[in-house]
Amino acid sequence: MTVTVEQAIKDTEQALLDAEVFFGHGTDNAWDEAVFLTLGACQLSLDSDIEVLQNTLTQDQQQQLYAWLKKRIDERVPLPYLLGYTWFAGVQFGVAEEVIIPRSPIAELIVSDFSPMLSITPERALDICCGSGCIGIAMALQMDIPKVDMVDISPAALALAQQNIAAYDLQQRVQVFDSDVYASLPKQARYDLIVSNPPYVDAKDFAAMPAEFAHEPELALVSGSDGLLLTATILAEAANWLTEQGLLVIEVGNSEVALRAQLPKVPFVWIELENGGNGVFCLTADQCREWQQDFIAWRQSKLMVKGANDG
pLDDT digits (tens, 9 = 90+) for 42-55: 999 888 999 889 99
Average pLDDT, the chain: 93
pLDDT digits (tens, 9 = 90+) for 119-140: 899 999 999 999 999 999 999 9
> What pLDDT is attached to residue 226?
73
Structural domain containing residue 196: 99-310
Q: Judge if 51 and 173 occupy the same domain.
A: no
Q: Judge if 120 and 242 occupy the same domain.
A: yes
Once rounded to an integer, what is the mean pLDDT over residues 178-189? 97
Return the closest-CA partner of residue 16 out of 212, 186, 147, 171: 212
pLDDT digits (tens, 9 = 90+) for 89-119: 999 999 999 999 999 999 999 999 999 999 8
Final residue belonging to a domain, choices 48, 83, 118: 83
pLDDT digits (tens, 9 = 90+) for 216-260: 877 676 766 677 989 999 999 999 999 999 999 999 988 899 999
Q: Judge if 233 and 181 occupy the same domain.
A: yes
**CATH at 297:** 3.40.50.150
DSSP letter, residue 175:
E
Return the closest-CA partner of residue 82 out of 103, 67, 60, 102: 67
Specify if 88 maps to a domain: no
What Å distances lie between residue 241 and 22, 58, 201, 282, CA to CA? 39, 56, 26, 15
Of the pLDDT bands very low, low, confident and very high (cuts 50, 70, 90), residue 36 is very high
pLDDT at 310 > cutoff 90:
no
pLDDT at 306 > cutoff 80:
no
Run of H or E residues at 191: strand 191-196
pLDDT at 83 > cutoff 90:
yes
